[in-house]
Amino acid sequence: MSIFCIGRNYVAHAHELGNEVPTSPVIFMKPSTAVLAEGKNSTIPSFTNDLHYEGELVLRVCKEGKNLKDPNVLDYCDVITVGIDFTARDLQNKLKEKGLPWEKAKAFDGSAAVSRFFSLDKVGKDIQDINFHLDINGKTVQEGNTSNMLFPVDELISHVSKYFTLKTGDLIFTGTPSGVGRVEREDLLELFLEKERIFYFNVK
């Protein structure tokens, strides 16, 4: 399984981190060992003092595809959920300053939290009009709607498949809205898809 992540896909998030707004999707990857499955708590790694949450919509690939084009691109992802792309922000900043890759800060074990998945039919909405939010200790810290994506879902799938063959079970993290921030030990993180809480866990 591969995990494809899209960076800076919400303009407000790019601005909050002082990054340029991209003109094409920014892709980075995580290994399968990055998955933090439902029912497990997150642990702050020893190599960071500034672990950040980034809540986002996640797609699961349902069949193999390469160089995918409209109008059938969405047929390659069968279900969705909300997940968290954890980032060791202090380490990432050091790596970026030196022009080095981000993997140590983005792709470490447990850095991709994902919940159970839902079919679009069950969600009952167009994939480009889905609400999601993240609460920490009962307070909403991030709110997103896929209509605000810089690059819509079908374009993301097509773009990723241009460079990488998509395989059944691959995940695509579609980017985070503004409001990212630091997590602390004992924080309770709760993820919502529309108004339903679908995932929660503690940070240890």
Q: Are the CB atoms for 81 and 118 separated by under 8 Å?
A: yes
**Nearest to 111, CA basis, from 59, 51, 58, 170:** 51
Q: Which amino acid is at 74?
A: L
Instruction: Report the distance separating Cα 35 and Cα 14, nearest Å.
Output: 24
pTM: 0.95
Q: How many CB atoms lie within 10 A of CB 149?
A: 22
**Domains, the chain, ordered by start:** 3-202 (3.90.850.10)
Instruction: Report the distance separating Cα 187 and Cα 161, nearest Å.
Output: 36
pLDDT tens by residue, the chain, 204 residues: 999 999 999 987 878 878 788 899 999 999 999 999 777 889 999 999 999 999 999 999 999 999 999 888 999 999 999 999 999 999 999 999 999 999 999 999 999 999 899 998 877 679 999 999 999 999 999 999 999 999 999 999 999 999 999 999 999 999 999 999 999 999 999 999 998 999 899 999
pLDDT (tens digit per residue) in 154-193: 999 999 999 999 999 999 999 999 999 999 999 999 999 9
Please give the structure tokens belonging to residue 97. 């300053």
Buried b vs exposed e over 59-93: b needs ≥16 C-beta within 10 Å?
Answer: bbbeeebeebeeeebbebbebbbbbbbbbbbbbbe
Which region, left, alpha or beta, applies to residue 194 given φ > 0 means left and ψ of -120 to 50 means alpha?
A: left
